[in-house]
Amino acid sequence: MTTPAVAPSRLDDSPASSKKPFGKRILPYLLLTPALLALLVGMGYPLGWQILNSFREYGLAQQFGQPPAWVGLDNYITLLTDSFFWSVLIKSVLFMAVTALATVILGIGMALMMKAVSRPARITLQVAMLLAWAMPIVAQMTVWNWMIDQRNGLLNYTLSWIPGVDMIGHNWLVNPLSFFAVASVIITWASVPFVALSVYAALTQVSGEVKEAAALDGASGWQMLRRITLPIIRPILVILLLLQMIWDLRVYAQIELLQGFGSAGDRYDLLGTYIYGMGVGQGQFGMAAAAAMLVMIFTIGLSWFYVRELLKEDD
């Protein structure tokens, strides 16, 4: 591992800590308290409910007053022995891998571009990113659906300008693979602004002096990026990638809305819509809770490498 050019934040176990031992010791806990309380108040009960009911039979009847029965691991076993659950899981993981990677790579590219270009160009790019980001999800999905519409969509219309190509009438949302590709493009499009602006923010933290010093030492642009810039923004990159992975694995609203445009059925499901359909749609809340817990466990498994990395960096 290369040593970052700049020392990471110094953890406060430095000699100074002996000065005010008690105050020093209590301070981090004081800083944490508000956030912890907010989490406990807002998440504690729902989380406990979810864990509890993943072990119970909790359906619509229970919601309307029947006492829920304990079923132990039944909900989990049912899911884990259901090949459909596995197929949705695998699809979601693949979808997540492609989308998260594309988002982060494009986002970094955009941020570097913002850093490299002139001020007006940078502002234009930033504004465009934000415009896309600010668009309400309902509008995002509707507009994209119009653009790819088989009947009068811009995509088919424009593609058909190419001599010898007639795409009018081609429905992009029938073939599940094509459906997921479209979803991936839309979600990437919508998530890149966040990554780009965050990475750009991180890049502004890289001080000019360090770079100048490196340039004097004869470092090329690529070397500078690899040796100096990337290590400094590394903590943010790891976080961003992990976040994208988490979000893309449990993506819900976009898939739900896209399905609404004529892609009927569970072959277009990813984990988010699968869990929602099981819970709200079919009223099997206990099963949905178990599925949500499983998704969390699988997410931990998938991202363990990164999580460990993150925790290790703290040492």
Partner 1 sequence: MKKMTRGIAAFAAASAVVLAGCSSSDDAETEESTAPETSSTAGGEETAAAAQDLTMWWMGQEDDTTKMFREYLQETYSAENGGELSVEYVGWGDAISALTTALPDSANTPDVTEVGNTQAATFTNVGAFLDITDMYEELGGDSLLQGFVEAGSVGETVYALPYYFGSRFAWYRKDLYEQGGVEVPTTLAEVTEVHASLKDQDIAGFYIGGQDWRNGISWVFANGGDIATYDGSSWTAALSSPEAISGMEQWQELFETAGVAQVTDTDEVFNAINDEMLQGLPAAAQMAPNWAGCCIGPLTGEDADGNPAPVWDDAVNGFYALPGADGGVAPVFAGGSNIAISAASQNVDGAKQLMGIIFSDEYQTLLAENGFGPANTEFGDIYAGLAPQNEVALETAESAKLTPAAKGWAAIEEQQILEQYFQAVAEGGDVTALAAEYDEKINQLING
Partner 2 sequence: MNTKTSTGKWIGSTAAILIALLWAFPVYWMVNSSFQTTTTINALTPTWFPFPGGTMANYKAVLDPSTGFGTALRMSVMITVLSLAVCIVFAFLASLAISRFKFRGRKSFVLAIILIQMLPAEAMFIAQYKMIAELNLLNTVIGISIIYIATVIPFTTWMLRGFVAGVPADLEEAAMVDGCTRFGAFMRVTFPLLAPGLVASAVYAFIQVWNEFALASVLLTEDASETLPLWLRDFAQPSAYGPIPWGQVMAGSVLVAIPVMIFFLIVQGRMTQGMVGGAVKG
- Contact set with partner 1 (CB under 8 A): 59-61, 63-65, 150-152, 168-169, 171, 173-174, 262-266, 277, 280-283
Rounded to whole angstroms, what are the CA distances from 314 to 8, 303, 307? 9, 17, 11
- Per-residue binding letters, 55-94, with partner 2 (x by CB under 8 A): --------x-------------------------------
Residues 145-184 that bind partner 2 (CB under 8 A): 146-147, 151-152, 154, 157
Per-residue contact string for residues 109-138; x = within reach of partner 2 by CB under 8 A: -x--xx-xxx-xxx-xxxxxxxxxxxxxxx
Smallest distance from partner 1 to CB 71, Å = 16
Nearer to partner 1, 125 or 258 (CB): 258
308 binds, among partner 1, partner 2, none (CB under 5 to 8 A by kind): none
Residue 27: Cβ within 10 Å count: 12
**In this complex, which beta carbon is closest to partner 1, that of residue 235 or of residue 277?**
277
Contacts of 108 (CB under 8 A, 6+ apart): 195, 196, 199, 237
The residue among 201 and 225 lying less far from partner 2, judged by its C-beta, is 201
Which of 55, 76, 179, 194 forms a contact with partner 2 (CB under 8 A)?
A: 194
Contact flag: residue 13 with partner 2 (CB under 8 A) = yes
Q: Which of partner 1, partner 2, none does residue 292 bind (CB under 5 to 8 Å by kind)?
A: partner 2
Q: Applying CB under 8 A, does 3 fall inside the site for partner 2?
A: no
- Binding partner of 265, given partner 2, partner 1, none, CB within 5-8 angstroms per partner class: partner 1
Return the number of the residue (20 or 226) whose C-beta is nearest partner 2.
20
Question: From the list 1, 3, 10, 64, which residue makes contact with partner 2 (rule: CB under 8 A)?
Answer: 10
Which span (74-82, 97-105, 177-185, 249-257) binds partner 2, by CB under 8 A? 249-257
Q: Tell me phi and psi for residue 56, to 5 degrees.
A: -125, 160
**Residues 297, 255, 148, CA angle at the centre, nearest 5°?**
150
| Residue among 87 and 142 whose Cβ is closer to partner 2 | 142
Rounded Cα distance between 271 and 276, Å, is: 8
> Which of partner 2, partner 1, none does 96 bind, CB closer than 5 to 8 A by kind?
none
Q: Which does 281 bind (CB under 5 to 8 A by kind): partner 1, partner 2, none?
A: partner 1
According to the binding rule CB under 8 A, does residue 187 interact with partner 2?
no
